[in-house]
Amino acid sequence: MRVRALVAYDGTDYGGSQRQTNAPTVQATLELALARVSQETITVLAAGRTDAGVHAEGQVIAFDTAWRHRIDDLQRALNAVLPADVAVRNVEETAADFHPRYDARCRHYRYTVYNAPVRCPLTRRHSLCVTGPLDVDAMQQAAQVLVGVHDFAAFGRPHKQGGVTVRRMLMAEWGGQLPWLTFDIEANAFLYRMVRSIVGTLLQVGKSKMSVEEFAAVLVSRERGQAGSTAPPHGLCLMEVKY
C-alpha cells in the first residue's frame, strides 16, 4: 500500500530534506526508521525540498510498504525509533498514484524574525535576530507587490537548468507582534532559495535601505543580482502543503 504521512522536523542538524552523500538528511533518517520497523528497503517521496537548516511543521511524504499491521501502529513504531528532532504527526493509507510533490496545489512557508535590541539565545535556532528597528508597514506594502503571477527570476533559480521561473503567489503577509515578526508566504511552487531571498530583500525595505518602489523594480528586473542578501535558513519553516 502507499502511505501518506505528515512530518515535522527541526532542520538545524540536517543537510536538507533530500538524501545526499555528504551530510545527514531528513529523507535518510526517515528511510532508516522505516527499515528498522518494517524490515523493508523503502524510498520516501516528499512534497518539497528544504535546504540545510530549514525546518518543517507540515512536510508531506509518501512511501510504499507491505506493512501488515494497523496504520496507527506504523506511526507509533516510527516515532519510537526516530530521533527527537523528527516526528511523524499523522499517517494514512492513500491512493496508489498519490505523489506528494506533483499533486500539491500550493505550499505555505513562514519566516520568523526576532526583532529586539538584544539577541535572545533561546530563539537562535528557529528565528533570525534583527537588532535594529524595522518599518513593518513598508515591508508589508512591498510584500503585496509579490501577489499574483510573476516571473520571480530576481529572487531565485529553478531546480532544473532552463526551468520556468514564473510562479503564482497567493499570499505574502507580515504579521506577529514585537519582538516577534512572521512572514507568511504561499505559492503554487517556489524557486531555489526564493523565500529566503525575498525575506532578505524585504528586510532591506524594513531597514530603509530600499524603498517599496525599488523593491518592485527588483521583481520586474528578473536579475538575481538586484535582490538583497539571502536570509539565513534557520528562520524558515515549511508550514503546510495543500492538495
From CA 27, how far away is CA 237, in angstroms rounded? 16
From CA 231, how far away is CA 86, in angstroms rounded? 24
Any catalytic annotation for residue 13? no
Number of C-beta neighbours around residue 236 at 10 A? 28
Per-residue DSSP letter, 229? P
In this structure, is the dihedral angle defined by the CA atoms of residues 206, 207, 213 and 219, taken in order, positive or negative?
negative
Number of C-beta neighbours around residue 78 at 10 A? 21
Which cell numbers hold the place of 239?
Answer: 508550514
Selected catalytic residue, list 51, 64, 103, 184: 51
Q: What residues contact residue 88 under an 8 Å CB cut-off, 6+ apart? A: 5, 6, 7, 75, 78, 79, 82
What is the longest distance spanned by two Cα atoms in the chain? Answer: 59
By annotation, the residues acting in catalysis are 51
